[in-house]
Amino acid sequence: MIRLEAFGPADFQQLINWVDSEELLTKWSGTLFSYPLTIDSMEWYINDTNVPLESDAFVYKAVDLETNEVVGHISLGGLSWKNRSARISRVLVGNTLEQRRGICQAMTKAILKIGFMELGLHRIGLGVYENNQGALQCYQKCGLKIEGVSRDILWFKNEFLSMIEMAILEDEWRALQL
């Protein structure tokens, strides 16, 4: 369905166009970026990434295998080589018309495969805001388990949002591949 390719400067404008509201930006990146996204903010985001064993983040675009169009964005960061762990972050299905087609699941499964098979990780986690039920369901379908909740972690639009912490271990992932 999709393949993951390195995200680079040629992809900046498309991502900026996709993130067309402060709410979407917050769901996508929490407080890492401010709205609106800019070329400058994209520059530092990819600085020194996608270099195995020298980076602590890998940033990807998802390309539809049938149409060869970019349909999403995902990253694997917070790498701890010592602990063989990382976090999935900044997951976005670009075009809202593409949602509910399984692209989020395909991207998540592809990045889990990279993490466990290529990078030799033992644990991959992520955090998802409680108001993003579609993403929560997607990650559960991919085998991630809820480990806990960081309550009232983000103040957004006059309310606190909690973050649901999830993870999958390499043996759990391998069992799903059978």
Q: Compute CA distances 20 → 28, 42, 62, 145, 173, whole Å.
A: 11, 15, 19, 30, 34
Segment 135-166, tens digit of pLDDT: 999 999 999 999 999 999 999 889 999 999 99
* Dihedral over Cα of 105, 166, 21, 46: its sign: negative
Contact predicate 153/130, CB 8 Å: no
Average pLDDT (106-124) is: 97
d(CA 153, CA 116): 29
The 8-class DSSP code of residue 178 comes to -
Coil, strand or helix: which one is 26? helix
pTM summary value: 0.91
Q: Domain locations in the chain?
A: 2-176
Q: For residue 23, is pLDDT > 60? A: yes
Rg of the Cα atoms in the chain = 16
At 55, is the pLDDT very low, low, confident or very high (cuts 50, 70, 90)? low
**Residue labelled with tokens 């309310």:** 159
Q: Any idea which of 66-70, 83-87, 167-171 has the lowest mean pLDDT? A: 66-70
Considering the domain delimited by 2-176, tell me its CATH architecture: 3-Layer(aba) Sandwich (3.40)
Q: Which residues pair with 60 in a beta bridge?
A: 6, 74
The dihedral formed by the CA atoms of 30, 3, 99 and 159, expressed in degrees to the nearest 10: -10
Burial of 16 (0-12, 13-18, 19+ CB in 10 A): middle
Q: For residue 50, is pLDDT > 80? A: no
Q: For residue 53, is pLDDT > 60? A: no
At 98, is the pLDDT very low, low, confident or very high (cuts 50, 70, 90)? low
At 130, is the pLDDT very low, low, confident or very high (cuts 50, 70, 90)? very high
At 96, is the pLDDT very low, low, confident or very high (cuts 50, 70, 90)? low
**Residues of the chain above pLDDT 70, percent:** 93
